[in-house]
Structure 1
């Protein structure tokens, strides 16, 4: 894998937006990879023959481009200084390379010395086949919360009952997850039986379980952080920003900070309970939302390892349940099969799963406020809107003005 210096602007507002603006970057990457005889790209010369360049959607903190050549497809990622402040690029690359070797992530071909540019293989995500989708629509009423309406599922343009993996995106709160558990128990339907199209309209739960079990055994490396340590780190960064004059005078931002910090004691109590069920840490991606997963050849691949680290074993399944539009039966199947006899968790893990889902949204709230405070003014409101969306998923939340 090539690793050479590439200089681009330190200002998030001047990132390239077109093929013409990208060309100097691509020329530099081409020169770097061409001089590295160990790089596995056999058709490196095609980087000088880009036939298609299109921004990829889904990322909230970085910019990604799909580059198409006559023989290959790549993804060029440009990391922003704002996101640099919340993650370790060295750690991110360590896990990305290990998961690529394990066949769980796209191959990474190039990293600039300043860690601002990554070039990796492009994996085109395939549609997820569904059964009875038009009539059932996942019975999504069971998963709604008071403040978050479930997004309607959109059929993929394939001429059959299927949808893109990204269309599984939702926001399921701990309360919504608990409600779906209760509804399933009252229906007397076994989460282990997959005979019902209503309960199992697709194989998302099976694919997710396979991925979670594969991630569970990945190398932990020398990087580790507990849930409590992560919360404390976010909390300290946020309170430090509150002291800055420009943030104290931002009433919209400050109102949201106050709302989040008011729940400090609730978060501390939840974390204490969750930490108690961990027997040992394991590798965690920590952001397995549908936009960070790609489906190809009936298996899932991960992307975006900015927050990957060894941590609490409930992190990844909580993220999956919080962000994927699964039926109550699918949720139960996934949680039961993943948590039963889990080598790194005690028997209390199943009971504490709603608390772990809630902490996923708590961390998302901290992230959104930190990104808003560190972004230029035109971008701040976008992150504050994300905060409002995340905060609504926290149990017993208060309304914001």
Structure 2
């Protein structure tokens, strides 16, 4: 495979050497990034990008109305149109130190890299460690983790749609969607013991007794109610006009709903490598315009698909029991593994190197870091009032733009 056909999923500097993670490859690759300019999607973390390109322009953030997290944008503008833009996400991005820790201790930190997507991060970390240690995980546990990830996807997609409605001044719809998201979080809290799944995952299984009986009925009710809200939103010409043809992107290296809204069929769930999604039936949601409306359409349809996945997985997860706590010093394992999982925002890449039962080195790349350059390219040339529509439709989290140390 030539370098031109490779899609860069991540890059990190270890010592004086650059290592790359490419899509659909099962290992990291030492790379000479002297020619990294060929990889548009990762210039912003390598130092090659000219951070002074915007010169003295309009500054938005790091703390301003419309921004939930702390991030600073420097824009060059003629007063209305964004001619150029450069982000600085260093205010909020988290860099977690896990080197030297046992996997159980590292898990507590990794699951909090982005608390809203804790199920995806903790599941990926656990599955990666389990692969290194060759730990057999029960079938019931695997499907319970699928239920967790899909509940999280529904809550996250509702949040993004709600934020997009608020940006477009659809106040009634915003309130309805926020109420639905709160319902989902309360269902999660009752069934799993924490609104964001903190402490539920453990190395080798699940840490606590789960109450899954009838959860599929509650989630189907939420999905049906959201469909009614979304149908009404699509009849609002004001809402559609504001997000259609806004922040249009077409980059094959994007991930998650951003990629699928541009027609690129990228979804780690279909591979069924770390979780048995391949045993379940669900649709691949694709849109092709690559604009804010397309991204909202993908997320709105995926809410129903996630509900259908939960419905199927509940039968397989029935009777799941808490696992016996795994002790890394029992096997004193040494090894490394490259894992991927589909979070609500897209593919998370995690590479772990373990030595004598402790983390030697770790690298993680969240979907927000992968999609940020696409947002920057898509919002250039737009008027400033379109900024919030584009930003909210991407569903990015500044916190997960950091990494592991």
* TM value normalised by structure 1: 0.25
Greater RCO (CA < 8 Å, at least 6 residues apart): 2
Greater fraction strand: 2
